[in-house]
Amino acid sequence: MKFSRLATSTFVGSLMVAAISAQQAPAPGAAPPPMRLTSTSFADGSQIPVKYTQAGNQTSPALTWTNAPPATQSFVLHMHDMEGARNKTSEDQLHWLVWNIPATTTSLPEGVPKGPDLKDGSHQTSATGNGVYRGPGAAAAGPLHHYVFEIFALDTKVDVPANAADPFDTRAKVLSAMQGHIVGKAVYLGLFRRPE
């Protein structure tokens, strides 16, 4: 059987298109892309600029996240100092906790307004008190501290009121309520110590 040049080139072209399409399409059952947390305020793993710290005006940095799982019902943002040992325990320093961020939200702007209850229905607290972002404040005499920003995607909302007298109690209750409901997570790291 003989094929014309046109039929042969059409057949070969179809095979090439099919091969390219197969490479671009995710395989059935393939894992979805992981969540990502990014910031335009500073690069991941770099030093946090002074304006976002206790040595500056403690403006909260801009944060954006992508690839939240379809089951997401809310987000929790947890910022803490990995080097801080609070009251001689394994508990580290709480710098920012924002919970019940709506599932439709994909970012927090630079300079989130103060106040325990935000317009979108989320709540925030820190070691400084309810409704306040606490910037990094590691001492100049010591090493750079690692400040971790974690964004958690949950398949539920967290029914925990803020404890104005003890934000660490609030954090413990929020983290406990999250257990068994985390469907995605991303992490971003910043370093800081006060200028000499």
Per the CB < 8 A criterion, the answer to whether 99 and 160 are in contact is yes
Angle subtended at Cα 12 by Cα 8 and Cα 18, rounded to the nearest 5 degrees: 145
pLDDT of amino acid 163: 84
Residues 59 and 50: their CA atoms lie apart, in Å, by 9
- Which tens digits make up the pLDDT trace of 49-104? 999 999 999 999 999 999 999 999 999 999 999 887 777 777 899 999 999 999 99
Q: Which of 82, 110, 112, 114 is closest to 95 using CA atoms? A: 82
Q: Which domains does the chain have, with CATH numbers?
A: 31-192 (3.90.280.10)
- Which tens digits make up the pLDDT trace of 134-177? 999 999 999 999 999 999 999 999 999 888 889 999 999 999 99
pLDDT of 20 above 50? no
pTM of the shown model: 0.83
Per the CB < 8 A criterion, the answer to whether 92 and 85 are in contact is yes
